[in-house]
Amino acid sequence: MSLTKDRLVSPVLLAIACFSIAALFVIGLFIFVEGLPIMVKVGVWKFIGSTDWSPLEGKFGILAMIAGSLAVAAGTLVVAVPFGVGCAIYLSEFASKRAVTLIKPAVELLFAIPSVVYGFVGVLFIVPFVREHLGGAGHGFCILTASFVLGIRVLPVIVGISVDALQAVPKVYRDGSLALGATKWQTTTMVTLKAARSGILAGVILGMANVIGETMAVIMVIGNAVVMPNSPLDSVRTLTSNIALEMGYAEGDHRRALFATGVVLFIITMILNTLTRYVTGSRVRKKK
């Protein structure tokens, strides 16, 4: 009796698992079917190599948006990596148990705050601050502002994965280093961090993929001008904000061009995700 049930459970669970894979497949297929024809029609190189985006005149070039996404991702890393890795080192190496139980959930909670709230806080406080103190072409709506907002948003991703990576370093490494007379800080920087670096790198790349996919908060603080980024104080548009901004009104080729923007986004995120797997994979191999 229980054997037959056992036989039943496995295929049912398999079906459920297949459903999530099917969802990925269907979404991917849908984006490519809708987006690829216009890319071919415009010319793939022209589509990703031109900065002229005037969809109503039939000009579809998303280079400015690709550059915008990358600029925001880079800016975010500059903000998030020192804070994230620093926080992870403290939590894993120096903090008392009580401090960990207090700080870790708090950092994780950051990720639970909805994206739109980040955007709202950014518009109300960071945008005016940047405008008054730094100025610039974007009048506060700029890469720097977005980097700050998103830097805080991805902190939990980087902290979480980095802490895991640091804690995965065997205790004997630290003990050995300390026994040789190294201080705690020397042990951390020269031994533990080195041993955990691929894990930390994976966290950083995953955080970057998160930033590139982020939409709502970015739309609100970045100004969305379709120009190539020249300075951190410029307003730019990212791939995601291009899709979300114009989807409501787009039709025909314009709409398909937004799907094609999604194709490019899909490929970039896929590359970053694969990179994460590759980096963590190499760590596992090394350990053996």
Interface residues toward other proteins, by CB under 8 A: 2, 5, 8-9, 12-13, 16, 53-56, 64, 123-124, 127-128, 131, 137-141, 219-220, 223-227, 235, 237, 244-246, 248-251, 254
**CB count in 10 Å sphere of residue 81:** 20
Q: How far is the CB of 118 from other proteins (least distance, A)?
A: 15
Q: Give 177 or 235: the residue with its C-beta nearer to other proteins.
A: 235
Q: Give 94 or 125: the residue with its C-beta nearer to other proteins.
A: 125
Q: How far is the CB of 176 from other proteins (least distance, A)?
A: 45
Q: Which residues pair with 53 in a beta bridge?
A: 60
Residue 287 makes CB contacts below 8 A (sequence gap 6+) with none
Q: Give 205 or 220: the residue with its C-beta nearer to other proteins.
A: 220
Q: Give 49 or 128: the residue with its C-beta nearer to other proteins.
A: 128
Q: How far is the CB of 154 from other proteins (least distance, A)?
A: 24
Q: Give 56 or 172: the residue with its C-beta nearer to other proteins.
A: 56
Q: How far is the CB of 166 from other proteins (least distance, A)?
A: 36
Among 40, 62, 20, 116, which Cα is nearest to 262's?
62
Distance separating alpha carbons of residues 49 and 45, to the nearest angstrom: 5
Q: How far is the CB of 265 from other proteins (least distance, A)?
A: 18
The alpha helices in 113-170, defined as continuous H runs, are 115-121, 127-133, 143-167
Q: Give 122 or 207: the residue with its C-beta nearer to other proteins.
A: 122
Q: Give 2 or 20: the residue with its C-beta nearer to other proteins.
A: 2
CB burial of residue 141 (10 Å; 0-12, 13-18, 19+): buried
Q: How far is the CB of 2 from other proteins (least distance, A)?
A: 7
The alpha helices in 43-96, defined as continuous H runs, are 44-49, 63-89
Q: How far is the CB of 90 from other proteins (least distance, A)?
A: 36
Residue 223 DSSP code: B
66 close to 267: Cβ distance less than 8 angstroms: no
225-258 burial, b if ≥16 CB within 10 A, otherwise e?
bbbebeebbbbbbbbbbbbbbbeeebeebbbbbb
**How many whole angstroms from its chain centre is CA 238?**
13
